[in-house]
Structure 1
């Protein structure tokens, strides 16, 4: 398995998850331009490293592309001949680029899976949306799923536009929670709590709520109601959120996010 851009944060997290899950480190090659950074990553992870993409691809059955979307076209065109000769499964971690673009840049006949991980993947609790080209085999889908599950939950979509919905929920979703946590911390500080205490309590509360929801056999609406005593403090706070149109605002924000994701895909496909 070859990771181009393998010493970067996201690729490094995936590699770490795979190794922790039992995938042999010596069967992974991470490539990049910075030899010093690669050597440090090799010492830390036990994987092989290389600055030569084409040579690394020569033995690859799985090729993971983990570079910025803005340089993906140039990268794909530079490795096109090696990819066409080997025909590995290509898993791309870059956001926003549609399959049609990879098929043009890498050439026809290359099985490609789009993977959209989110930043909690860096700590092993991510969500990765997956969409496969029609020529990706069941075995290859399983290989892509193992890569995704190395850093959290894998979620397949049947239509490529479904990736935009994944972005709206989980790709961009961490920022929504960070914003809400930021607002809670600021509000607690304004009410007189020390900021360090406000941050510690807010983060632990968010963590606890997420763990409780994940472990519960009831939906989150019921969990909310379980906290709300009639006429109590929580009910008063929740009513204020609802009077301010929280649910409608979230719906519109996620719609805007998905719309922008589709727009960016069209721009990157040019």
Structure 2
């Protein structure tokens, strides 16, 4: 069963910091180099609902999972943001129609610092170190039980009306439970590419592809995804977004629906 759904999509499943850069411009998984500006803030509330189905050894396994994440970003300077993410997650698994797991609760809290250190003719680079703090209950599959850390390199190229973003990330996960230590890889690598297209002044279409190391020691196949969606600006400081994410292989959840709102102030 896909690790993202099994571990409850808690960072949604971004991640927070499980590996995927979770604090991107929703519904994108891939982050951009943009920052809020000194003394300015952004509040995001993002939701995700996913489902996965597999048949292993004649047993049909179905899993539904949902997550709600609140993310606040604050500009320490014009080029440095502090980002805090608080995830809540729910997951239910059935085997041949019988519920074998049903958990929900707070996940591991995520902290990131985004520093845009280079800007040149529409091209920019940023570095994002981050931590996840063990606020989720590891015994219920809602967290790792220990502090984990990682870093993401972010590149953005503006090609009006398109903008392209590339992320390369590394995460080191620590686990408290012996069972998790035996089942999960500690070191996760991630690569993803996204583009946005400014269709209208207040409407963007977005697309995203990516892959990362399989967190399950039992598989060497990297989960891969494709995502499409839209961001609509109700005003200069208020955005709504929708997205659909699909798995490109069996290691990624079959389908997930995403929605969010972002308010800048």
Which structure's residues are more often strand, by fraction? 2
**TM-score, L = length of structure 1:** 0.28
Structure number with greater CO (CA < 8 Å, separation at least 6) is: 2
Which structure's residues are more often helix, by fraction? 1
Larger of the two Rg values belongs to structure: 1
**TM-score, L = length of structure 2:** 0.28
